Amino acid sequence: MPKTNLKAIDFFCSGGGMTYGMQLAGINVIAGIDNDVAVRSTYEHNNPDSRFILADIFNLEEKDLREKADIKKDDDDLILIGCSPCQYWSIIRTEKTKSEASKNLLKEFHRFVKYYNPGFVVIENVPGLERKAEESGLQDFVDDLKRRGYEISYDVYNLNEYGVPQSRKRFSLIASRVVKEKIEPDISAYRPTVKDVLGVENGFPRVEAGHRDQTDFQHTVAGLSADNLEALRQTPKNGGNTVKKRKSYEGKGFRDSYGRMSWGKPASTITTNFYKISSGRFGHPDEDRAISLREGATLQTFPKDYIFDATSIAGVAKIIGNAVPPEFARRIGQAIMESLKNDEE
């Protein structure tokens, strides 16, 4: 990659998936911002060269960030990244009142983009952000960037086409006022599947439901009730659907609940509840258990030495499920780097 002075601020950084991937591409992420103190240790442990700023964007003034992160206005080398929590705009059936606070996060991020006028802007979010472009603030965001001379590229991407072993669809935007060409991540030459990254041959020993891994590898698995364990035992291996009908879940819950992943296909979208077989197709292809914390992280393309620091299975899974897959982040960073190289030629 070419030498670069590019530096980035990662808004809504959580445990650092975007930061880690961008740094793999050669971009200096000088700071990550999040209002959740529970993600701080994970972020700092794995991204020691980036400063974690604990702040609520609703209360953070634009000028204050200049002091906290040592950045300036109109910097051609500055990238502002906004990967806001997306529950409100997700198609997953959740109680919207619980995620009401996340509704206007893009509009808050927009304040900083207007104030600092960075060379590059990156957004990653759920496809619903685009489907509800007026309500989410995306339309105003894009229109404002265009007025100020940014070249913009955005689309809904299936991340399996970008080296992530999931069928994970995400909205992504890359804008630049420095490079006058559309910037998009390069599609992968192959589409990774579950078998490419999981299984004994990939370093995941067989374990049972309820297994607790006290090492940093975190091959920890949630327990199962006797009823759920029996249902999973009856579910055909390698992609099977549960054979047990449950009246309590009819018409409710998540599609593919209690199903198994298929070795030869990408995984379903890894959510914050991937450790529960009741929340999606999160059953192991062969073993009678849900996938482990480390398996979920691997399907999100985190390296196996990435340490997640939380006090519970649910806490670790939240960090993993909310993350931008580092491999996709790397490809975004790489595309920005390559655009600068091409612009110089």
Name residue, tokens 């975007």.
Answer: 18
| Overall domain count for the chain | 1
Rounded to a whole number, what is the distance in angstroms from the first to the last CA of the chain? 14
Please say if the pLDDT value at position 96 is more than 50: no
Residue 162: inside a domain = yes
Give the DSSP letter string of 164-202. -SB--EEEEEEEESSS-S---PPPPSS---HHHH-SGGG
Catalytic amino acids? Answer: 86
**pLDDT tens readout for residues 246-267:** 444 444 445 678 999 999 999 9
Residue 279: inside a domain = no
Residue 287: inside a domain = no
Record the pTM.
Answer: 0.92
Please say if the pLDDT value at position 310 is more than 80: yes
- Kindly state the average pLDDT of the residues 203-215: 98
Q: How confident is the model at residue 100 (pLDDT cuts 50, 70, 90)?
A: low
pLDDT of residue 138: 87
Residue 65: inside a domain = yes
H-helix or E-strand spanning residue 331: helix 326-344
Residue 70: inside a domain = yes
Q: How confident is the model at residue 342 (pLDDT cuts 50, 70, 90)?
A: confident
Rounded CA separation 136/108 (Å)? 11
Please say if the pLDDT value at position 293 is more than 80: yes
CATH code for the domain of 61: 3.40.50.150
- Kindly state the average pLDDT of the residues 146-164: 96
- Kindly state the average pLDDT of the residues 334-339: 96
Residue 156: inside a domain = yes
pLDDT of residue 243: 63
17 vs 150, 234, 302, CA distance in Å? 26, 36, 7
Rounded CA separation 230/141 (Å)? 50
Rounded CA separation 161/148 (Å)? 32
* Alpha carbon of residue 38 to chain centroid: 17
Structure tokens at 158: 């299936």
Other residues' Cβ atoms within 10 Å of the Cβ of residue 142:
18
pLDDT of residue 88: 47
Task: Please say whether the beta carbons of 22 and 330 come within 8 A.
Answer: yes
Q: How confident is the model at residue 242 (pLDDT cuts 50, 70, 90)?
A: confident
**Alpha-carbon dihedral sign for residues 201, 300, 20, 171:** positive
Residue 72: inside a domain = yes
**pLDDT tens readout for residues 126-150:** 888 877 777 778 899 999 999 999 9
**pLDDT tens readout for residues 8-64:** 999 999 999 999 999 999 999 999 999 999 999 999 999 999 999 999 999 999 999
Write out the residue range of the structural domain in which residue 61 sits: 7-187+324-344
Residue 244: inside a domain = no
Decide the pairing of beta strands 151-158 and 78-82: unpaired
